[in-house]
Chain A
Amino acid sequence: MNLLTALARLLLFPGLLFAVPAAWFFLWVERKAVALMQGRIGPPFMQPFYDFVKLLGKTTPPRTGIGGLLMRLWPLLAVSAAAGAVGMLPVLPASGGFEGDLILLLALLELPSVCIIAAGFTSRSIFSEIGSAREAALSVSYNIVFLLAIVSIAAAQHTFRLEALATMPASPLLWLGIAALLVCLPARLHLNPFSLPNAEQEIYSGPMIEYAGPELALWELSHGLEWVAATGLVATLLAPHITLWWMAVLLFIALSFLLVLLLSTLAAATARLAIDTTVRFYWQCSLLFAVLAISSALLMRLRS
């Protein structure tokens, strides 16, 4: 029974069967929101799906001097890690089965970005190396804030279990942690103003520049799944505890959608910052914020 529920969570909801269409939908919402903000009509609803299928049907020209197997491995790893992260989100209340903890979820969330860095360096193009170096610098700076925010929430709840975190009652501390998480999301999803690793006009496609065809399709998919996982994590923390499963699902989807809308609007309204400004932003402003959150969490724990 436990195995069955775990499989159902990984494959059906919130796993692959839900996550892949949701990934395409969120990618579309991102592009559409940017288009609307710029006064355009934007791509049709099925656009990310068309792009995915089209990329699957393309050939790959030979890449001389690059480790072929390694290049093919990174996007696969990124997609599976992102899908696993989505599958672990505690959306359904007390569903039983395999319950991963927060540490596993964070590791899975982090893996796609590690894959991007590795892929850029594997492809040995000068542009992808610049993109990877930027991604690495960025991930070092936002991850500290991200992890501190998560740890502060977990410390307040005295547990790393996901179910317990999802059912946590609203408190000022939770809001502080969620705000710190939200600050990190644009950098995690490579959105403006922190879209440095894939800065189109400066370094072409960044780490993805040597990828083509089906491998590129997998990268697009993993980006979409990262959207679902990252917004889903915040949505599960935001959502109040509901025992009706369909209400919980609906609320989860609605909250994720609102977050996507918020992030895309931010992306459309801002321009890209330089790497030093970005790193300074995360180290100076947000770190303060996160340290505040974790110290108050620890204080609360000492007093209780």
Chain B
Amino acid sequence: MNLWKRLMCACRRRSPWLFHMNSGSCNGCDIELVASLSPRYDAEQLGVRLEGSPRHADILCITGPVTKNSVGAIRTVYAQACSPKAVVAIGSCPATTNVFIDSRTLAGPLDKHIPVDVFVPGCPPRPDAIIQGIAQAAAILAERGMDTPQAEISIAAPQAAVHHEVQP
């Protein structure tokens, strides 16, 4: 590994910028994610910055059980984030659809649609757990070198999942 690559690895680990996306969560996890940036937990010590555009982000933080309506948006946002990128699924909802399981409005869990790197379990998880998840994702980002291109998903038919059959 040459010097530039080592520097790049270090910088990727220390500068994770987040994009927060709600895919139909009950808002519990979203509040905890914001709390992890608050003075008490202060994720900015790790270089974390919450960004407004997925194009600026390295780590997508996705909360919620993935409703059928949000699938298209999730795929679009994932495609818009620049590689190398990582996905952190926050809460039990994106992992298992949690208490909303068997709902006919859901298309979850999340890893059916995009590759997920870190799951942070909990309903909602504590801010320290979220920060740990972000730190792990940042370490994964650092490993993901420039020469291993990431699986890009196609967003040709993003709304396909919306046409669901309504059960009687």
Choose, from B24-32, B45-53, B88-96, B121-129, the stretch at the interface: B45-53
Please report which residues of chain A, range 47-77, place their CB below 8 angstroms from some CB of chain B when the two chains form the complex.
Answer: 47, 49-51, 53-54, 57-61
- Chain A residues whose C-beta falls within 8 Å of the C-beta of B81 in the assembled complex: 61
Q: From residue B159, how far is it (CB to closest CB) to chain A in Å?
A: 18
- Shortest distance from the beta carbon of B39 to any chain A beta carbon, whole Å: 4
* Residues in B neighbouring A212, C-beta threshold 8 A: 55-56, 82
In this assembly, does B14 line the interface, its C-beta being within 8 Å of a C-beta of chain A?
A: yes
Could you tell me the distance between the alpha carbons of A60 and B54 in the complex, rounded to whole angstroms?
Answer: 12
Interface residues of A in 19-49 (CB under 8 A from B): 31, 35, 38-44, 46-47, 49
Contacts of A44 in B (CB 8 A): 14, 45, 47
Interface: B44 (CB within 8 A):
yes
B contact residues, range? 20 to 34
Interface residues of A in 283-297 (CB under 8 A from B): none
Given contacts A57-B8, A57-B12, A59-B83, whether A211 and B47 have CB atoms under 8 Å apart is no
15 residue pairs bridging A and B, Cβ less than 8 Å apart: A38-B39, A40-B44, A42-B42, A42-B45, A47-B14, A49-B11, A50-B11, A54-B15, A54-B58, A60-B82, A61-B80, A61-B81, A212-B55, A212-B56, A213-B82
Hey, which bits of chain A sit against chain B, CB under 8 A? 31, 35, 38-44, 46-47, 49-51, 53-54, 57-61, 200, 203-205, 208-213, 216
Interface residues of chain B, those whose CB is within 8 Å of chain A, are 7-8, 10-12, 14-15, 17, 39, 42, 44-45, 47, 49-53, 55-56, 58, 79-84, 146
8 smallest beta-carbon distances between A and B, as pairs: A204-B52, A212-B55, A53-B11, A40-B42, A50-B15, A54-B11, A50-B11, A205-B52
